[in-house]
Chain A
């Protein structure tokens, strides 16, 4: 992507005024998207993102600069802006760039740019028809397909030089149901670190019907009453609870500063002993998987919580230096516009031993959150909230009437202790996680589990 001499010269410029480390991240991405609404193409867009991000570090200070310029002199001029910001006495750094091997975990059969857009559109139309014909109340369906080929080159003054190619495909179906003038939406958004074979092999009917079913159920549902009671959160996207409420607080981004509720708690019991949580960046072809993270470190399987005990944080190189700990392969960024920091890959609560049916049967009164929506968390206070997009009341140990408008609110570290049953029906789903280093693909996951008491917002 860039010849060794240019890399060497850019890195040399970056450390020319006294910095002790510099890193470049060259990003050349071709992305394409088709959005289909109301039985026709609403938008279709594609293009090329290109830029180089340069990070310069001195001690615990870091500077980030980037440019879209593709000429060597643009890159060097940008590197010098970074160098200037940390100017002090010059050190003599010897840079020995050695091309490193990258172990491939993601096997790609069909590169997206070899597929005709017409074929992509055929799959979209199929999914559209399946969702639209699900029920008369489905008034609107939107289907999108996105693919992306991201080529990266990462090099630093420690001599690291690695290149990798990441390929993504995602299909997003959303359905709107109407009942008495009230509109409700349902959603399914499968994705993978895979080529177009992912779309060819996808069970379109399952995803189209799932989106339509949520919309229909919610359109005919009454409002959820607010209160404080047990909640059974089902598998798959239900894992957003852990992602939002705990995962972000385990990122070195907040732990290194001592801002996180989990700072200084390694080895302590922070969750109910039935809870084991893992972040795994190595699962083949999964949405959140990478061969190497965006600092060039191979990803790994990180056990975060084992039987309730805090075992590990998610760490990038820079924060690792502050904490005196090694990178866990978690340095990530959306693209060249962002300095990398510790982020999640595929994060989930491991399966337990109960059956979902038994958990519901053991609950006299509560909420069954079948589908979860997005959410957010304040890493400082641990306060989180997220929306239940398909919910039902549980009455006398049985799933009863559907309810809409429910949100779950609370504090992450408290919820972890209140998880009192974990089922065996583990699954993962895909999301885009937004944080300081941009929006990145991540998997969330869990089996069905019960939180014995949680504040449910409704009306």
Chain B
């Protein structure tokens, strides 16, 4: 790899590129999927890729290749040159020489690489077996997987920057389909812990089965405005959909609700939104960003007040501030903006306490169609949902086939209380505790 990069920089220089940069990625992954106690699919992969960017006559051009061979150098340089030549963007990207200091992060867990393939397969088999045994109405497990992966990345440029990071992880995911006569209902559960001993097939199976069974035979509830608790996982999924509103690029482009709202109240004073690149084992954890800038901890919203946008070098220059270390970059993408680990800071109340506090209302346990039913610019949403009602502070009955609708930014201001149950759900780097909201509009019966 080192040889290839040297050669690339050398040929690039003679072609007229000044500063040049390469990012590389190498990863290995394994995933097994079980269906009816048989291996349904089994995947072993190794991937390599290289992304190039270079300054050609004052503009940056990008290119990439997955074929790491000398015969790709020509394609990389030709494509990057042409891309630079049509790049008329007045805000220019620059190759970055490096930050003064980079904090060590803990994102690689050697023990995880020691789990045998057989153990992984057995775990998935067990998850399914237990799920089937828990209730006769469990029809099948459409999705029962165990997977693992590790990756290594580097950023090397002609200004002398040479950074490296690595990470690994394991995960399991179980979806259960339950049937009672003609009625079907599904439920899922998963685990993303960094310690294999915390993977409990029984717990996961029970959670997925409970979710599926409890909605069998349930009906929509009446259309109305309700007080509501949005469960942690659901809130985390929604934040994952809408978080581009905090990107300085979106703001500068006029594509964000947060435009012009710095240092104003954008949420209830119960809300603090944190971007923390140093959480051990979280998928957004890294000591440097996509441009090689050192990452840092920040509060994006502090007690309801918007404190900062997320910046890379280019947007920071436009706003005359420092980069917040939020540049994104992958082998096949150009520089963008991404949160590191973005989450609502947890409160003190458990879910049960929130339910008691609400007295009467609903708990939203599942939403779907986030990619189609959510306008991440305006914040308007209309999403199919499942959940249960709360009567006199206690769980009453489950419901499904309803739609919840509203505007996310109005909803942030309507947050009455934030729970203690912070989770990053299946999103990896976007987290939330359960949120208790003054009102939400529901369409059902």
Contact = CB atoms under 8 A, between A and B. Distances in A.
A140 B66 contact: no
B315 to A, nearest CB: 12
A37 B253 contact: yes
Given A50-B65, A407-B382, A257 B372 contact: no
Contact of A407 (B82, B184, B383): B383
Nearest to A380: B177
A259 B382 contact: no
B405 interface: yes
A295 to B, nearest CB: 16
Contacts of B334: 43-45
Contacts of B76: 47
A375 interface: yes
B66 A50 contact: yes
B44 interface: yes
B64 A184 contact: no
A254 B184 CA distance: 14
B79 interface: yes
Interface in B385-426: 401, 403, 405-406
A242 interface: no
Nearest to B87: A41
The dominant DSSP class at the A interface is strand
B89 interface: yes
Contacts of B371: 374, 376
A35 to B, nearest CB: 9
In this complex, the member of A32, A66, A176, A183 whose beta carbon has the largest number of chain B beta carbons within 10 angstroms is A183
A40 interface: yes
Given A65-B44, A67-B45, A226-B223, A38 B384 contact: no
Interface stretch (B67-75, B264-272, B282-290): B67-75
B49 A45 contact: no
B93 to A, nearest CB: 10
Contact of B380 (A121, A378, A405): A405
Interface stretch (B33-41, B291-299, B305-313, B316-324): B33-41
A48 B85 CA distance: 19
A182 B375 CA distance: 11
Contact of B384 (A51, A184, A373, A409): A409
Given A45-B83, A183-B377, A62 B42 contact: yes
B266 to A, nearest CB: 14
A381 B86 contact: no
A63 interface: yes
B88 A41 contact: yes
B150 interface: no
B63 A46 contact: yes
Nearest to A388: B382
Contact of B405 (A40, A48, A457): A457
A179 to B, nearest CB: 11
A176 B377 contact: yes
B377 A117 contact: no
Given A50-B65, A66-B45, A226-B443, A459 B382 contact: yes
Contacts of A337: 45, 47
8 contacts: A44-B61, A45-B62, A45-B63, A51-B66, A68-B67, A70-B68, A458-B405, A459-B443
Given A40-B88, A385-B383, A457-B373, 18 more contacts: A43-B334, A44-B62, A45-B83, A47-B51, A51-B66, A70-B68, A82-B44, A226-B403, A257-B140, A375-B372, A381-B184, A387-B373, A457-B382, A457-B383, A457-B405, A457-B443, A458-B403, A459-B382
Interface of A: 28, 30, 32, 34, 37-38, 40-51, 60-70, 78, 81-82, 85, 116-118, 121, 139-140, 176, 182-185, 223, 226-227, 254, 257-259, 261, 337, 339, 373-376, 378-383, 385-387, 404-407, 409, 455-459
Q: Which 7 A-B pairs have the closest CB atoms?
A: A457-B403, A226-B443, A47-B64, A459-B405, A50-B67, A374-B372, A459-B441
